[in-house]
Chain A
Amino acid sequence: MKLVTAIIKPFKLEDVKNALEGVGVRGMTVSEGSGFGRQGGHTEVYRGAEYTVDLVPKVRVEVLIDSDRLDEVLAAVTDAAHTGKIGDGKVWVTPVEEVVRVRTGERGAEAL
């Protein structure tokens, strides 16, 4: 089992969610976050003053999947989140040892 974590642009959340549902992912956790990558934030003008904003708003999407569906899920996320512009985000994969469904006590792939 794998945990796929995607950091995406907030306005891409709907597309990514639909794409994941399209490849059969049946649950996800979404949280708002902020940070910066290689682009190092951006500048903003407000009330006549220019600011460097280091931490840019992002959305973090986390999904637990079966290992054999990894490529399919990665393709769905990256396609949906892609704009080609700086700040599109990152996706990474973490191995998962165990998953338990709280309601039933099912474990492993059954619990996904």
Chain B
Amino acid sequence: MESALNSGDTAWMLTAAAMVMLMIPGLAFFYGGMVRSKSVLNMLMMVMGATFIVGVLWVIFGYSMTFGSDIGGVIGDPTEFLGLESLMADDPEATLPIMAFVAFQGMFACLTVGLIAGAIPDRTKYNGWLVFGAIWAVLVYFPVAHWVWASGGWIFEMGVIDFAGGTAVHINAGAAALALAIVVGKRAGWPRTPMRPHNLTMVMIGAGLLWFGWFGFNAGSELAADNASAIVFVNTFAATCAAAIGWLIVEKLRDGHMTTLGAASGIVAGLVAITPACSAVSPVGALIVGVLAGVICALAVSLKYRFGYDDSLDVVGVHLVGGLVGTLLIGVLATDLAPAGVNGLLYGGGAEQLGKQAIGAFSVMAYSFAVALIIGLILKAAGIMRVTHDDELSGVDLVEHAESAYELGEAGSGGHFAGIGAGAARRDREEI
């Protein structure tokens, strides 16, 4: 029997999945440069560690929970594709191997959990974070991705447009980040002590990798190498440039300088906002989505000072707010010339789509916030959420990982080799 496989689509989807994977270290560097030098390794490890765990969960039952046969509009059947074994057979009618879709969507799951980590660096126990990430993926990400993207999912069936993850990824992660920032609490000294990024070069490298990978994230969400994927690609680029300009203008007017951190943040804000909208707007619409996201997110990062939650790296201000901007603007700027084929408010489509978008966005926000808050409070009560005050001041890199990112002292620490294995140094000292 002849295979219907489209090798162009398959090649693009495998490439896109690998590009989304590159966003994970990109995110780690983006966040890692923003924390203080004593916490950078922990930040990298939080993002990478979330990937290790969610990747394993995805293979075992996560994919099945997300894209298995729908149960009541809220969840996929977790046993249907348990361990993915039943998906290995070559389907002669498929144009795209289902495993390419499994790989692509798996990267989304890993990245989304990693996004949350930016709210709680410098002060969180590593094991507490990993446990949180695992539970949140199971109770929140897999179900919400099912709601939004799976056939039968209640948000999907309602007709909400979320092309690549404005609700399922960014609002979802941003709301969880807000809950965790509240549960874990402020960093010692915040907000009185300035906690400026320790390596802005790293932040911009991370933003660049995110931008590159995001073309896979958005254009790959078409699941084909076709005309729509190319439109999505251009929209993604347009919105990002406009958002960076929007953010920098706000900074220039408000603070007097256009900062590197502002440019990197503007890039990410634009990417976040265009993610749900990239299939629904024209390139000019994408510019408007972008510039509005840049301006609104640049203003939103100040909210944490007003309300007193230490969302350290602005996951709420960029991902939650940016996700809301993009998701809601679909209802305003969508044009039926774009692949999604829907008209928003400004294109004579009325307020119907806007209403649907709002229901989808706020449902995901409320659910993710509530469940993240409960998971966080339980882990906090169990004492595995936050390091001690002294350990926080010493730095989580040293305390949680026994490492420091920058060993710059030429004179060294004055130690000597004592032998192999834990306790060798102690035995050595006793002999002396």
Q: Which residues of A contact B (CB under 8 A)?
A: 44-49, 51-53
Chain B 255-269 interface 0/1 with A at a Cβ cutoff of 8 Å (1 = within) = 110010110000000
Flag if B254 contacts A48 (CB, 8 Å): yes
Flag if A49 contacts B191 (CB, 8 Å): yes
| Chain A residues with CB below 8 A from B301, complex form | 47-48
Assign chain B's interface to a size class: 10 to 19
Q: Which residues of B contact A (CB under 8 A)?
A: 191-194, 196, 251, 254-256, 259, 261-262, 298-299, 301-302, 305
Instruction: Tell me the smallest distance from the CB of B125 to a CB of chain A, in Å.
Output: 27
Flag if A47 contacts B194 (CB, 8 Å): no
Flag if A53 contacts B261 (CB, 8 Å): no
A-B contact pairs, 5 of them (CB 8 A): A46-B255, A47-B259, A47-B261, A48-B254, A48-B255
Chain B residue at minimum C-beta to C-beta distance from A44: B194
Expressed in whole angstroms, the Cα–Cα distance for A102 and B191 within the complex equals 49
| Chain B residues with CB below 8 A from A48, complex form | 251, 254-255, 298-299, 301-302, 305
Q: Which 8 A-B pairs have the closest CB atoms?
A: A51-B194, A48-B302, A45-B255, A49-B305, A48-B254, A47-B301, A48-B301, A53-B194
| Chain A residues with CB below 8 A from B302, complex form | 47-49
What total count of A-B pairs have CB within 8 Å?
Answer: 31
| Chain A residues with CB below 8 A from B254, complex form | 45, 48
- Identify 7 new A-B residue pairs, CB closer than 8 A, beyond the known A48-B255, A48-B302, A49-B305: A45-B255, A45-B256, A46-B194, A47-B301, A48-B254, A48-B301, A49-B191
Expressed in whole angstroms, the Cα–Cα distance for A51 and B191 within the complex equals 8
Chain A at the B interface: mostly helix, strand, loop or mixed?
A: strand
Chain B residue at minimum C-beta to C-beta distance from A52: B192
Expressed in whole angstroms, the Cα–Cα distance for A82 and B115 within the complex equals 49
The 8 Å CB contact of A47, one of B192, B193, B255, B256, is: B255
Chain A residue at minimum C-beta to C-beta distance from B195: A51
| Chain A residues with CB below 8 A from B191, complex form | 49
| Chain B residues with CB below 8 A from A44, complex form | 194
| Chain A residues with CB below 8 A from B256, complex form | 45
Expressed in whole angstroms, the Cα–Cα distance for A47 and B191 within the complex equals 13
Instruction: Tell me the smallest distance from the CB of A54 to a CB of chain B, in Å.
Output: 9
Expressed in whole angstroms, the Cα–Cα distance for A44 and B192 within the complex equals 12
The 8 Å CB contact of A46, one of B193, B259, B298, is: B259
Chain A residue at minimum C-beta to C-beta distance from B304: A49
| Chain B residues with CB below 8 A from A47, complex form | 251, 255, 259, 261-262, 301-302
Expressed in whole angstroms, the Cα–Cα distance for A91 and B262 within the complex equals 39
| Chain B residues with CB below 8 A from A46, complex form | 194, 196, 255, 259
Expressed in whole angstroms, the Cα–Cα distance for A49 and B190 within the complex equals 12
Expressed in whole angstroms, the Cα–Cα distance for A47 and B302 within the complex equals 8
| Chain A residues with CB below 8 A from B298, complex form | 48
Expressed in whole angstroms, the Cα–Cα distance for A47 and B260 within the complex equals 11
Chain A residue at minimum C-beta to C-beta distance from B191: A49
| Chain B residues with CB below 8 A from A49, complex form | 191, 302, 305
Instruction: Tell me the smallest distance from the CB of B331 to a CB of chain A, in Å.
Output: 28
Expressed in whole angstroms, the Cα–Cα distance for A51 and B255 within the complex equals 12
| Chain B residues with CB below 8 A from A53, complex form | 194
| Chain B residues with CB below 8 A from A51, complex form | 192-194
Identify the interface centre among A44, A45, A46, A51: most chain B CB within 10 Å of its CB. Answer: A46
Identify the interface centre among A47, A51, A52, A53: most chain B CB within 10 Å of its CB. Answer: A47
Instruction: Tell me the smallest distance from the CB of B399 to a CB of chain A, in Å.
Output: 25
Expressed in whole angstroms, the Cα–Cα distance for A84 and B370 within the complex equals 58
Expressed in whole angstroms, the Cα–Cα distance for A51 and B305 within the complex equals 12
Identify the interface centre among A48, A49, A52, A53: most chain B CB within 10 Å of its CB. Answer: A48
Instruction: Tell me the smallest distance from the CB of B102 to a CB of chain A, in Å.
Output: 39
Instruction: Tell me the smallest distance from the CB of B142 to a CB of chain A, in Å.
Output: 34
Instruction: Tell me the smallest distance from the CB of A112 to a CB of chain B, in Å.
Output: 27
Instruction: Tell me the smallest distance from the CB of B153 to a CB of chain A, in Å.
Output: 37
Instruction: Tell me the smallest distance from the CB of A81 to a CB of chain B, in Å.
Output: 26
Expressed in whole angstroms, the Cα–Cα distance for A94 and B247 within the complex equals 52
